[in-house]
Structure 1
Amino acid sequence: MPHPSTGLRRARRPAAILATALAAAVLSSGTALFPAAAATAAAATAAEPDTAALAGALTAQRPTWEPCGLPDTSAEDEAQLRLSCATVTVPRDWHNPGDGRTIQVRISRTVASGEDRKGVLLVNPGGPGGSGLSLAPYVALSAPELAEHYDVIGFDPRGVGQSTPLLCTVTYRDTDVTNDLITRANVAGCRNTELTKYITTEQTAYDMDFIRVLLGERKLNYLGYSYGTWLGTWYAATFGSRTGRMVLDSVAAVGSPTLQETWDLQPFTRDRAFQEQLLPYMARHDDLYGRGTDPMAIRQMFERAGGTRVGMGPFMFGWFILGALYDTQNYPTAAAAVNTVIQYYEEWNGWTPEQILAAATTKLLAAPGITADDRAYIQRSRVNAEAALKAQRDQATLAQGAGEYTYDIDYVFEVIRCQDGQWNDSVAYWNAFSRRLTRDAPLVAPYLQNPPACAYWPTSNQMPTFDRKTFPKVLMLQDELDVATAYEGALTASKKLPGASMISVDNEGSHGVFPYYTTCVDDPVYAYLLDGRLPSETYTGCQAVPLPGETAVFEVGGKLTGKGTVRTQLVSDDMRAANRMLKRMLRTEPGPSYPE
C-alpha cells in the first residue's frame, strides 16, 4: 500500500558517488603478508597504539594547506567552505616505522563556520579504494549544521588517488584467457608488488589516528559510508579512547571477522531490489515505458531479451542498471535501460561493446522522464565504460604475439577486502555458491561464476575484537533494500557492536542514507553529532520518501515492526516466483537469446 508523501525530495547519495565504477568492478570480478599485531583477541586488552610515538620525527610535520582544485567543487563553494588540501607523510608500515620508509596521504578540510567548534569530523565514502577528498565538501554543503561546528576532513586512503597510489604489476601468459586464470594472475602479481602488503584497513586506521595527531585533536569524530563503516569500526576497535562520535551509514557486516559476508549477501540484495522495487516502479509508469502494469511480465520480457546472460543485457546491467540501483533517484535511468534491452534485443547481434555503448547512451539520454541529474549519471557511466573498454584494448594489444606480457592494474578494491580477513579458499565452496546463485539470484549469477580473488589470497589478518569497556557507542543508519550492504548484515552487526543504536529506513533502496532530509532520519544524527545524544530506543524505524515522479511511498520488501526494525526476506516470494519463471523459460523457450 502507498504511504503518504512527505513532500521532500532526496538529494544524491554520498555513497552513490562510487556506485558506477565500483558496481562494475564487483561484477567483473596460507602465510600472512605481514603480522597483524593488533588483530588478535589479545589486542583487546593491550594498550592502544601511540601513533605519535611510532611516527617519531614525522610527528613534527605541519600540514601545508593549499587549494584543492577538485573538479567537482566550484570555486564559490571552495571559498565558502574555506576548503583546502594538504599532503602528510606517514610510515609505510606502522608495525615497523623504524625502517624509515614512508608514503604520502592527501587530505582535504573545510573549516567550521561557527564559533562553537566541536572538533574534526573525518569522513570516508567506502569502496574499498574510494577517493574521499570530495566527500568533505559534499558533507559540508549538504549538512551545513555540521559544517558550522566541525572541520570536515576528507582523505584519499593510502594506495588511492592523490595519496601514494598502488598499481600492481601483473604478468599474464597468452594462455590466461578465462576470467579465473586472469584473476589468479592478478592476485599473484599484486602479492608480488612490494607496496601491496601495506595497503590494508589496519594500516589506514593508523593513518587516520596520525591525521588526528597532526591536526592537534584529542578525539576523532567520524562519518563513514559502506566499507567506510568497516574502516571506522576497525579504528574504534583499535583506538577506542581516541574515538569521539561515530556514525556508520550503510553498514558492512562489521561483526564478522572478514568482509566476505558483506559480499556474499550482495547478489541477493541486487536481485531483490531489481524485482521488488525497480520493476514495480517501472510498472507503475506504463505511460513512460509502455511495458504494461505487471512487474513479472516486464521481468519476462527482459529475460526473453537475454536478461543478464546474452545480448545487450549484461553490458547494460553492468554499466547503467546496477549503478542506478545504488541510488533510487536514478531509477528513471535504470528503468529506461531495462526498456532499451527489451526494445532492441533483436538488433544487438554482431554489435561490438563500443557500438552497444554508443547506441545505449543515445537511447538513454533521449528516454522519457530523464532529468539533468539522470543525464549526468548516464554520462559518467559512459565515461567509465569507455575507460574500461580502452584498458581491455590496450591489454589485448600488448598480448598480441607475446608469450607473456606485463600490465599495471589498479586492484586496490580487491587488495583491501582480501587482506582484511581470510575468505573461504575452497574452490568446491565457491562452485556450490555459484549453483546457489543460479537458483536464488539468477540476475547477478552470470557475473559470479568463478571464485573471487580473495579465495586465492591467504592472510591471517582480522579485525580486532571489540572491548566493551572502550568501544564507543555508535549510531547506525540503514536502508531496507540497500544493494551493497544488506539490511540483514547491518541488523546482525547492530547486535554485536556494544551500545549501538540503529535507524532503519523502510522501503528505501539506496546505498547511503545521510542526509536524507526527513526529520525522522536526520534529527537523530544531528542530535548525536552536535550534542552527543543517541536515540532513547535501540532501534528507530523511519519511512522512505517517494521515488522520482511519485507522490506516495509504496510498500516493498518487508515491513517495519513495532520494535523499529524491518522484517524482511533475503529471498522474497516475488524473487522466487521470478526465478521459477526464468527456469521455465530457459527450459521451454530455447532460441538465439539463450546459450546452448
Structure 2
Amino acid sequence: MPHLTTSPRHPRRVRRPAAILAATLVAAVLSSGTAGNPAAAAKAAEPDTAALAATLATQRLAWEPCGLPDVDAEDEAQLRLACATVTVPRDWHNPGDGKTIQVRISRTVASGSDRKGILLVNPGGPGGSGLSLAPYVARSAPALAEHYDVIGFDPRGVGQSTPLLCTVTYRDTDNTNDLITRANVAGCRSTDLTKYITTEQTTYDMDFIRVLLGEHKLNYLGYSYGTWLGTWYAATFGSRTDRMVLDSVAAVGSPTLQETWDLQPFTRDRAFQEQLLPYMARHDDLYGRGTDPMKIREMFERAGGTRVGMGPFMFGWFILGALYDTQNYPVAAAAVNTVIQYYEEWNGWTPEQILTAASAKLRTAPGVTADGRAYVEQARVSAEAALKTQRDRAQLVQAADEYTYDIDYVFEVIRCQDGQWNDSVAYWNAFSRRLTRDAPLVAPYLQNPPACAYWPTSNRMPTFDRKTFPKVLMLQDELDVATAYEGALAASKKLPGASMISVDNEGSHGVFPYYTPCVDDPVYAFLLDGRLPAQTYTGCQAVPLPGETAVFEVGGKLTGKGTVRTRLITDEMRAANRMLKRMLRTEPGPSYPE
C-alpha cells in the first residue's frame, strides 16, 4: 500500500471527555408529544430571550467550584474554572406559565488582556455533557483560552442540568427489540418534560446564557451533533452569532438528523475495512495474522465476526469505540486479534466472563499505551454497567407481568423531535436488507425501525437566511465513523459562506486541535482574527497512525479543489462483503439474505 509522507507522530492528542461518546456508542451497541414549532413557520423576527425570560433576566450567577472528576485542582486554578446554575423557562414559547428548569454551565476565564468575548462549546451526542469540554478546549488550545472565556454547559435534560428520565412501563410480552422500542417511545412521549427537550429549546438557552454573561455576540465551537445545534442557533439568532467552527459535521443541510444516522453503518464498515485491517496487516510482527487485510477479515468472520460468538460483544464494546479515535487503533487491532485467537475457547462464556478475560488481554496487548489502557478500562466500566442494567430488568420481568423502569432516553428524544423521520415500516425493512448486503459488519447492531420512526413531530430546523447567517469554518476527517464525510461535504454547499477543511486519510471523530499547521492555523486565524481561508475548500494530510512514521493512502484521494474524492461503499468493502456472502452460504450458520 503506498505511503504519502514520513513524519514524526504529532504530540499526543488530548481527546474530548469520554462521556461525549457514550450516547452514540450505547445506541450503536445494543421519544415526546409534538411541540409547537414557530421555527417552521414563516420567517419571524429574531427572538429576544431577555424579554421572553422577563424577571429571570435579572438573576445573578453564583460561580462556584465545579468539582469535575477529570479536572485536577491545579488546572482548575490556572484556568480559573468555575460553574454556575442558570434558571431558564421550561418552555421558551410559553415562558409566562412560570415553570422553569436549570442549566448548569462551566467557564474558564481568558488569561490575556486582549479578551475577545465568550466561546461557547458543545461536545455533541445528542445528550453529551459539556461541562468538561470548556477546560478541555482551554487546556488543549491555550491560544483560545488566552483570548476567550470558554463556556461549557450541560444541555437541558442532561447531566447536572435538570435531567430527563422517561418512566416506561413494560409488559412481559415486550420480548422483542421492536416492542421494547415502542414501549420506550410511548413512555417518553407521556413524560411531561420530554416535549421541552429539543434542539430548538436549547438554542434559546444558549442565547440566554449569552445575555446573562453580558455579551453582545456568541462565538461557538461544536463537535458532531454540536454542529447541528450550532447551525440551528445561527439560523435562529443570526445577528447574535459571531465566529462559528463546526467540527465533524452532521448533515446540517438536511431537514432532520436521519441522514446523519443513515450514513453511519457504511462509514463504520468503511473505516474497519479500509483503515483498521490494513493497519493490522502492516503490523504482522505484532498480531501475526499476515499482511493481507482481506485474509484478516476472513479470519475474523470465520470466528463469528459480529454475528455470533464473542465477536458481537467485543466489537460493540471495544472495537467500535476505538474506531472513533485512531489513537486507539492498537486496542481495536488487539480486540480483532483476540476474537480470532480465542473464539473457540470463549464461545459459550457469559458476557461477564468475556468482559473480564478480554479486558485483561487488551490491557497487556502489544502496542497498547497508557492511554489505550485507560480506554479499555472506560469500555469495561461502561459494559459492566450495561450488563447490570440488563440483569436488573430481567429480574423485574421475572417478578411481575408488568413493571415500570426509568430510562435515560435523551439521545433518542432529541434526534427524534428535531424533524420527522421516515415512518414507513416497509422503508426500514428495505433499509435493513440494504445494510445486510452493503454494511454487514455493523448491520447486526442496528434495530429497525428505529425509535424515530414511531415519533411524530412537526419540528424542523429553520431555513438559512443568507443575509444574516454567519461565516462558518467546517472541519471534517475523511473516514469519520459518526459523521460521514459525504454528509459534511453536502452541508458545506448548503451553508451560506461556509469554508471547509478536509483531512485526508484520518479516521477520528473530532478534529480540532489536530496539532498540524494545515488544520489548526486556519481555526486560530478565524477565531482570533476573523479570517477564513482564501479558498472555500482546503485539503490537509493526516498524521501517521500509532507506531508508524508514514501516512498510507486509504479510502479516497485529495482533489486539486481541496476536497476528498471518496466512495461510501468502496471496492474493498464490496470484496469483503462478497467474501462474507460466500462464506455464509457454504458454511453452517445464519443464512445470508439476497
TM-score range, shorter chain: over 0.9
Deviation at 1:449, TM superposition (A): 4.2
Report whether the alignment pairs 1:2 with 2:32: no
Opposite residue 477 of structure 1, the aligned amino acid is L
RMSD (CA atoms): 1.5
Secondary structure of the corresponding residue to residue 295 of structure 2: helix
Equivalence for 2:367: 369
**Structure 1 residues 412 and 28: alpha-carbon distance in aligned structure 2, compared to 1, 3 A threshold:** same
User: Which range moves more in the overlay, 464-473 or 12-21?
Assistant: 12-21
2:531 to 522, 530, 533: 533
Equivalence for 2:582: 584
Secondary structure of the corresponding residue to residue 127 of structure 2: coil
Cα separation, 2, equivalents of 1:325 and 1:553:
17
Report whether the alignment pairs 1:290 with 2:288: yes
2:138 to 140, 150, 153: 140
Q: Is the 8 A contact 1:55 1:91 kept in 2?
A: yes
Q: Deviations over 1:126-154 (max 9, x none)?
A: 00000000000000000000000000000
Equivalence for 1:353: 351
Equivalence for 2:465: 467
Cα separation, 2, equivalents of 1:293 and 1:327:
23
Cα separation, 2, equivalents of 1:24 and 1:149:
34
Cα separation, 1, equivalents of 2:74 and 2:85:
23
Cα separation, 1, equivalents of 2:76 and 2:31:
48
Q: Deviations over 1:48-81 (max 9, x none)?
A: 0000000000000011000000000010000000
Cα separation, 2, equivalents of 1:287 and 1:19:
34
Equivalence for 1:499: 497
Q: Deviations over 1:200-241 (max 9, x none)?
A: 000000000000000000000000000000000000000000
Report whether the alignment pairs 1:79 with 2:77: yes
State the TM-score, normalizing by the size of structure 1. Answer: 0.98
Report whether the alignment pairs 1:314 with 2:315: no
Cα separation, 1, equivalents of 2:249 and 2:542:
18
Secondary structure of the corresponding residue to residue 399 of structure 2: coil
Matches within 5 A, 1:113-124: 113-124=111-122
Deviation at 1:10, TM superposition (A): 5.1
Secondary structure of the corresponding residue to residue 527 of structure 1: helix
Deviation at 1:529, TM superposition (A): 0.1
Opposite residue 38 of structure 1, the aligned amino acid is A
Cα separation, 2, equivalents of 1:161 and 1:31:
19
Equivalence for 2:37: 36
Report whether the alignment pairs 1:334 with 2:332: yes
Cα separation, 1, equivalents of 2:11 and 2:256:
33
Deviation at 1:18, TM superposition (A): 4.1
Structure 2's unaligned 5+ residue stretches are none
Matches within 5 A, 1:169-184: 169-184=167-182
Deviation at 1:14, TM superposition (A): 4.3
Opposite residue 541 of structure 1, the aligned amino acid is G
Equivalence for 2:149: 151
**Structure 1 residues 101 and 67: alpha-carbon distance in aligned structure 2, compared to 1, 3 A threshold:** same
**Structure 1 residues 85 and 19: alpha-carbon distance in aligned structure 2, compared to 1, 3 A threshold:** closer
Cα separation, 2, equivalents of 1:589 and 1:496:
48
Equivalence for 2:60: 62
Matches within 5 A, 1:347-426: 347-426=345-424
**Structure 1 residues 335 and 31: alpha-carbon distance in aligned structure 2, compared to 1, 3 A threshold:** closer
Equivalence for 2:488: 490
Q: Is the 8 A contact 2:21 2:125 kept in 1?
A: no
Q: Deviations over 1:449-488 (max 9, x none)?
A: 4210000000000000000000001000000000000000
Opposite residue 495 of structure 1, the aligned amino acid is K
**Structure 1 residues 417 and 449: alpha-carbon distance in aligned structure 2, compared to 1, 3 A threshold:** closer
Equivalence for 2:18: 17
Q: Is the 8 A contact 1:286 1:292 kept in 2?
A: yes
Equivalence for 1:430: 428
Cα separation, 1, equivalents of 2:447 and 2:227:
28
Cα separation, 2, equivalents of 1:164 and 1:334:
36
Cα separation, 2, equivalents of 1:39 and 1:235:
14
Opposite residue 337 of structure 1, the aligned amino acid is A
Opposite residue 118 of structure 1, the aligned amino acid is K
Deviation at 1:9, TM superposition (A): 2.0
Equivalence for 1:256: 254
2:564 to 557, 563, 566: 566
1:223 to 209, 221, 224: 221
Cα separation, 2, equivalents of 1:355 and 1:81:
43
Q: Is the 8 A contact 1:265 1:486 kept in 2?
A: yes
Deviation at 1:407, TM superposition (A): 0.1
Secondary structure of the corresponding residue to residue 482 of structure 1: coil
State the TM-score, normalizing by the size of structure 2. Answer: 0.98
Equivalence for 2:91: 93
Secondary structure of the corresponding residue to residue 382 of structure 1: helix
Secondary structure of the corresponding residue to residue 244 of structure 1: strand
Deviation at 1:11, TM superposition (A): 3.5
Secondary structure of the corresponding residue to residue 38 of structure 1: helix
Cα separation, 2, equivalents of 1:424 and 1:595:
26
Q: Is the 8 A contact 1:524 1:535 kept in 2?
A: yes
Equivalence for 2:274: 276
Opposite residue 479 of structure 2, the aligned amino acid is L
Cα separation, 1, equivalents of 2:21 and 2:302:
26
Report whether the alignment pairs 1:111 with 2:112: no
Secondary structure of the corresponding residue to residue 406 of structure 1: strand
Q: Is the 8 A contact 2:271 2:323 kept in 1?
A: yes
Opposite residue 423 of structure 2, the aligned amino acid is D
Q: Deviations over 1:468-516 (max 9, x none)?
A: 0000010000000000000000000000000100000000000000000
Opposite residue 487 of structure 2, the aligned amino acid is G
Q: Is the 8 A contact 1:32 1:461 kept in 2?
A: no
User: Which range moves more in the overlay, 269-278 or 28-37?
Assistant: 28-37
Equivalence for 2:442: 444
User: Which range moves more in the overlay, 94-103 or 391-400?
Assistant: 391-400
Q: Is the 8 A contact 1:540 1:563 kept in 2?
A: yes
Secondary structure of the corresponding residue to residue 87 of structure 1: strand
Opposite residue 442 of structure 2, the aligned amino acid is V
Equivalence for 2:28: 27
Opposite residue 562 of structure 1, the aligned amino acid is G
Equivalence for 2:548: 550
Equivalence for 1:213: 211
Q: Is the 8 A contact 2:89 2:100 kept in 1?
A: yes
**Structure 1 residues 52 and 19: alpha-carbon distance in aligned structure 2, compared to 1, 3 A threshold:** closer
User: Which range moves more in the overlay, 250-259 or 582-591?
Assistant: 582-591
Cα separation, 2, equivalents of 1:328 and 1:423:
32
Structure 1's unaligned 5+ residue stretches are none
Secondary structure of the corresponding residue to residue 496 of structure 1: coil
Opposite residue 39 of structure 1, the aligned amino acid is A
Deviation at 1:17, TM superposition (A): 3.0
Opposite residue 8 of structure 2, the aligned amino acid is G
Deviation at 1:6, TM superposition (A): 3.6
Aligned length: 592
Cα separation, 1, equivalents of 2:583 and 2:17:
34
1:240 to 238, 245, 255: 238
Q: Is the 8 A contact 1:16 1:327 kept in 2?
A: no
Q: Is the 8 A contact 1:250 1:513 kept in 2?
A: yes
Q: Is the 8 A contact 1:106 1:155 kept in 2?
A: yes
Cα separation, 1, equivalents of 2:447 and 2:510:
28
Opposite residue 265 of structure 2, the aligned amino acid is P
